[in-house]
Structure 1
Amino acid sequence: MRFSVGSTAVFKSMLPLVVAMTLMGGIYLAVHWSTQQSDAVAVARQQQLIELVISKMQYSIAHDQESVTVWDDAVRTISQEWDREWVDSNLGSWMHSYFRHDGAFVVSPDRKPLYAFLVGEANEQNAFRNIVPEAMPLIARLQKRLAEGDEAGTSEQVLSIGESDLVRLGGRPAIVSVKPIVSDTGNIQQEPGGEFLHVAVRFLDGDFLTRLGADYVFEDVRFSVVPNLGQERSYAPIVSSSGETVGYFSWLPFRPGADVAKATAPVLLVAAFCLFALTGVLSMILRKRSRRLQQSQAELNHLALHDPLTGLANRASFNQLLARVVAASTADQTNALLYLDLDRFKQVNDTLGHPVGDRLMIEVAKRLKETAGAAAVISRIGGDEFTIVVEHARQDEVEKLCDSLIAAIRRPFEIDGQPVLIGLSIGVAVAKGNAADPVEITRKADIALYHAKTSGRNRYAIFGPHMDELIRTRRDLEQDLRAALEAGNQLEVFYQPVYSAASHEISSLEALIRWRHPNKGGIAPEVFVPLAETSGLIDRLGAFVLKEACSTAREFPDLDIAVNVSAVELGQRHYAAQVFSLLRQFGIEPSRLELEITETALLDEAGVCEKNITALREFGVKFALDDFGTGFSSFGRLQRLEVDRIKIDRSFVQAFDRPGGGVAIVQSIVGVAHAKGLRTTAEGVETEEQSEILRNLGCDELQGFHLAEPMSKNSLRERLGAERAQRTSS
């Protein structure tokens, strides 16, 4: 083919335009491809995040159920002493108010509904019928596993056996979880497969989608049975364990690439003649958008692996870290796992509210980080549980760290100007080399923690082979306590005098139980009193102490006597009648008896404690609030307490000689107590200096080793005789 001169000129004049158009077309194709790739990556990450959230929610619901289904009281109430109000308060509507579950059901072994709660459905039969088609296969599968002796949990978070699945209830997506109601102590025998069952329901639409969108920045997230809400939306299928698609979550996806294209298109059109400049600007914008995407991804990863309240690593992150540390260890490297649990944190939440509890948890995390050092990796794996992994650990260093952590947490926290005291117990497991099993290390640390808490709290314990028998030892101790109550010659009541701050004379006595085991020697009340509470022996133990105290009060008619009362004991309906009977039997004036309680007794939802207190006060019995200021007592609550005396905790007295110590706190307590007409007694007085400070602060009575240690009745007779003789000679 031949070209004319004119056509050649036209071609040459068009060549730059053709080259420019070709280059612009290449740039456009590159931008379009990168936009699609960026959008695809962002959509895929959002889909993975939704799958992770649903999976975590499924485990969380089963974990929530464990807090009420592994419980002796639940087994007894449902199988022996049916109390619908109790079931509703502990297994039913409470699960909605506390854990946001939408439904809670109790089913008998023959699969009949005993209790039903479903949000929006007042009729229990209708509520149960709504879940039967989806729940019954899970119930049948669980009963079969139970009958076969299967006891395995579903994960490290969910330890007891159960069945759970994603289903559609009434057109709504939901998680249905079934758990057996079983004994936590093992003292109640249950026929395998014959357990009562607890069914929990959590809908995955409504408020769940609202929180999902708010927490993870999903725009216009919805649920639909089929993906028919438009091609511009992204979808994530909800798939049951059988592979059936229950429905789809859809949302307007985050499209960083599309945003880039919209931002740069006008620039490309206007500045097409300046190709190289435009390329530079475009590259800069793309880099900026890429950084933003990376930041968003980093934030999502951080949320997935960290506790949102404290910023510490969460359980998933802890499991990964421990596995990495073990795998990277040399054969002679020793690592330690510290399992931490806060003491009395639940009382803070119950008394002062969850907002204060959250702020306290943040302060606890700060102290742990300050004490453990910047190199330590601290994880929050539960409500008030933490872990610390120590690499290249020496035992002396681990013990020193444990002592420092306990001391740090025992220092008073100040929340809204109010002192809050809690404690810390630590279990330690030590492993050597890279052949150790992370799961086994965690189990040993958990057992050591249990050992520390049962040994009196505010201490640490390092796992030893003997701890594997801790549960058996505890049961043996319970049997020994029963035998001691039967024998009557191992338990003895000691008496610690309380002195008037003004006259320096004994004004009253406090009765304190002591157990002298024939083989194990003295056993601390901090060990056997909680054991008595959990084993149902507290009534007999309390009756023994009260009877001995009344006998002593009759022998020393010029002294009042105080007896500590457990919240469990005071929560028994017959308690007031029992006290009345003993006072009449020994001929004791009710006003000479003072019952020492803690604020835990005032948290009884059934109101039994309050009724007993009211009846006893009307009869003339006095009440004292013990250990005031230890973690959850408050000046605001003091204005509403019906007591006669405040006992100031020894921790404030011991803090007198420290900067910022307890003098101001004690002065405030005494001032508020006197304004309300209450007497005050300071505990733990160990020096004359402390005694003098407390007198000057206006404290009414003093008690402590500086004045007198707890003593037997015989020793008490001798001391009182000697003091009477001294006064007579004077």
Structure 2
Amino acid sequence: MALHAFRRSTDFLILKVVVAAFLGLLVLTAGTFGFLVWSTWNIDEVASARQKDMARHVIGRFRYQIAHDQESVTVWDDAISNARELPGVEAEEWTNANLGEWMSTYFRHDAAYVLSPGNEPVYAYSRHHQAPITEYAQIRLTITPMLGALRDGLRRSDVAVEEGLQTFGVADFRILNGRPAVISLKPIVSDSGEIEQVAGQEYVHVAIRYLDGQFLKELQSKYDFDSMHFAPVFRDEGRSVGLPLLASGGGVIGYLVWEPYRPGLDFLVSITPALLLILAIAIGAVSILIVMLSRRIKANRDQEAKIRHLATHDPLTGLLNRAAFEAILDRRLADAGGQANQIAVLYLDLDRFKPINDTLGHQAGDRVICGVGERIKALLPPHSALCRIGGDEFNVLIPYDDFADVERLATAIVEAIQAPFDIDGQTAFVGISVGVAIAPQHGRERTELTRKADVALYSAKASGRGCYSIFGPHMDALVRERAEIERDLRKALSDLSQFKVFYQPKYLAESGEMGSVEALARWQHPTRGMISPVYFVPIAEEAGLIRELGRYVLEQACRDAARWPFETVAVNVSPVQLRDPGFAVDVMGILSRTGLLPNRLELEVTETAWMEECEECSTNFRALRAAGIGIALDDFGTGFSTFGRLHETEVDHIKIDKSFVEGLGADRGDEAIIQAIVELARAKGLKTTAEGVETEAQMEFLKRVGCDELQGFLYSEPLSGEEVDRLLAGRPDRRLPRLSIV
């Protein structure tokens, strides 16, 4: 009896617990449902407000965009010339093509008109074709007040132009022919400044875009506005949202109305059956809990496996990381019993990878890195290991029976990576350099093998990139020599007595006279003799010494040029110098100390430095150009996206790379390239200089296509400052070119 009573009390206790749990579940479910209703209502209100803000922003931006679209044709000398010739046949054809059809087909404007200085229509376009100018009478009453405001603003010298636009204009919302529309008025002005116009008496371009029909379909599709339409009056019935279209005077011309997105309500509707189901299966809560616990345990195990994978693999490519690769290499060397036979370590580094990030973006760069990893992995034999060290560097460990297999693999990798990569329809090209070290010939220990593979990689890059190099004892000597050069360079920069500035004359193509010079650094090493800047300048850049060296060359060149009659002196500038926030200030200080006028100094930068996305570089460029210092683009044509960037007119002068000049007459198409460069420069008002002119035939061709300046050994070798002095004084001590070559 006592046992039975204990069981009954226990059952009762369990029943009480179950009932309490059930009631608690009901209360919890009711409270949760009430909380969800309140939360979803708030979410819907926030979502509706955000949609309304988005629509307000899009409509406001659309009014600005129409004005911006107009400036593609209204800031144009040709537009003024043809407007003045209307209604001439040729002028009408030009105006219809550029101010009518183009604005309709490209920017989807619904109508366009050109008004004379007397406010009369001289051209009309609507319904996708040229229209009679009498159609303007239908909208004259609407346009006239806006036209008056435009002309009043144009006559004022202090009128503000909206940020991002070039000219003052008037744009507003109006009801036009019973339809809501954006009307934008822009003056037709000169882009060159060479055509004189009376302020307020310009021809005016009128652009119209209706805000119903196709526009609303586009807006609805792009931003997920449901059932969007225009209504003259908005009646708030609880479900719809209305955005008033405000004219500049403050009046409401109508409303854009749509059914707002209600994520909260949709979510609540979607989960209500689940909540009811949870309540119905309360008895099975324990079973569900067990299932959830088992899933949690499995999820934890999966997470642990993922963490272990991330600890040994590169997150971008999924390849081994450095730590995992080093562990495998150590294990392979140990398994070989100290003999380390038939193991090769390859050190790989991509060539020309940075321009991909600069031109296509870092996401494209990541895709190229992944593609490189896939191509290399597909070439590796069994039991190999491939890791991404970081950036654009990789390591490969391969076993081999015959060393020729290693050479074939290195060659295959170089060839595979040279094939183009397709990135969203754009073609990207990179190369790869490979350094190879083998065990036991080059070492029996991991650190030694990877170091020597890295040294071999350095040799491959020094040999012209896009190749492989096998470690040899002489490479260590080269590395030591480079370290010695860097040490001597630091010492030489302490007193600067070993450095001298030479000058390469540049001759005017038309007259054959020497018009300017380019400053060149020379290093007279006490034991090595004259060292080429091609060798020591990259070392100075990598060692952080280029700022001091560049400052010396710039100051000496400015000091010499201050006493010479040349129009300009050109000085090369390193990308490292341009990244220095104080570079522009240093240049202005040197000009002040030497007395050289800013407009007589021209700084030559490479395409890579010019295109670098660097805030400091951009700031320096702007400051230097604002001071009147010229900017020349050196080695033009060897970089990426040069022609597109030239449209921004950030430079004053371009130098055609000598590789194109050397190719003249070799049937490589260099003639067409040079002619295109010269014509583009002339169109942008830029001066051109051809480098490396060595033959009369090259000179004649460059003069014929219109190159402004010529530079090369045909005219003169680089001269010291003293030799330039003697040349100008008419007392050359050695054979010098004539000063007039016609």
TM-score for the superposition, normalised by structure 2 = 0.47
TM-score for the superposition, normalised by structure 1 = 0.48
Name the larger-Rg structure.
Answer: 2
